[in-house]
Amino acid sequence: MSAVGASAVGATSAVRPRRRDPMRSERIIEACLDVIVAEGVDGLSHRKVAAAADVPLGSMTYHFAGRDALLMAAFEKFARRASERLDAAMARAASPEEARAAIERHVLGGVLIDDREVVLMTELYALAARDERYKAVTHAWMARSRAALERHFDPATARILDALIEGLALHRLLDDGSGEGADVARAIALLSAD
């Protein structure tokens, strides 16, 4: 074998096999959401997300063309998950009374499960207030939520209940006495009275 052939073989054997990681983009999206909660959208960088997802920095641009593409994918996933939970709750309710009880349970800890999700919601809303692309994400989220509520309520009531759900979730995060069960049940009953 010639010296050139030997060096080519040595170079080939030094190349590491490519690691198969079919869930990498999902892990990156979840890590992106974690970084947003910890540092806000302004604190987000590919480097921070790569470290949180435990992926090579170079793979970030393989999966997401840039920061905006990553943010969009993360917020779309977050909004879809939140609206799917409300849809499932409304699908299980057999009557408006059961729907009201389901809304109450979700306001107190289901639609936006915890403070982390309320922080994500506010970060998304702040982006949507200034950028039409993110406003489209919030509009799609609202449309899905309202469609779920319309299983049991007329469109105008569904719109008001949707706003109440998100508003009470935000108040629960920021106001130490807001969002108590009796107050939530009363508000839902008042807004959805037949």
**139: closest CA among 68, 79, 73, 77?**
79
Q: Which amino acid is at 100?
A: R
Decide: pTM greater than 0.85.
Answer: no
Residue 133 structure tokens: 């692309």
Round to the nearest angstrom and report the end-to-end CA distance of the chain.
Answer: 89
Residue 59 pLDDT more than 90?
no
| Domains: count for the chain | 2
Judge if 53 and 84 occupy the same domain.
Answer: no
Boundary-marking domain end, from 43, 64, 85: 64
Residue 162 pLDDT more than 90?
yes
Query: Is position 117 within any domain?
Result: yes
Query: Is position 41 within any domain?
Result: yes
Helices 24-39, 46-53: axis angle to 10 degrees equals: 120
Judge if 92 and 52 occupy the same domain.
Answer: no
Judge if 162 and 94 occupy the same domain.
Answer: yes
Query: Is position 128 within any domain?
Result: yes
Query: Is position 43 within any domain?
Result: yes
- Name 29's Cβ contacts closer than 8 Å, sequence gap at least 6: 70, 73, 74, 77
Residue 61 structure tokens: 């641009």
Query: Is position 160 within any domain?
Result: yes
Residues 10, 13: Cα–Cα separation, whole Å: 5
Judge if 45 and 113 occupy the same domain.
Answer: no
Q: What is the pLDDT of residue 17?
A: 47
- Give the CATH number, domain containing residue 23: 1.10.10.60
pLDDT in tens, 62-121: 889 899 999 999 999 999 998 898 999 999 999 999 999 999 888 877 555 677 888 899
Query: Is position 13 within any domain?
Result: no
Residues 45, 49: Cα–Cα separation, whole Å: 6
Q: Domain of 179?
A: 77-191
Q: What is the pLDDT of residue 176?
A: 61
Judge if 95 and 162 occupy the same domain.
Answer: yes
Instruction: State the DSSP code for 43.
Output: G
Alpha-helical (H) ranges within the chain are 3-14, 24-39, 46-53, 57-63, 67-92, 96-107, 115-130, 132-149, 155-174, 181-191
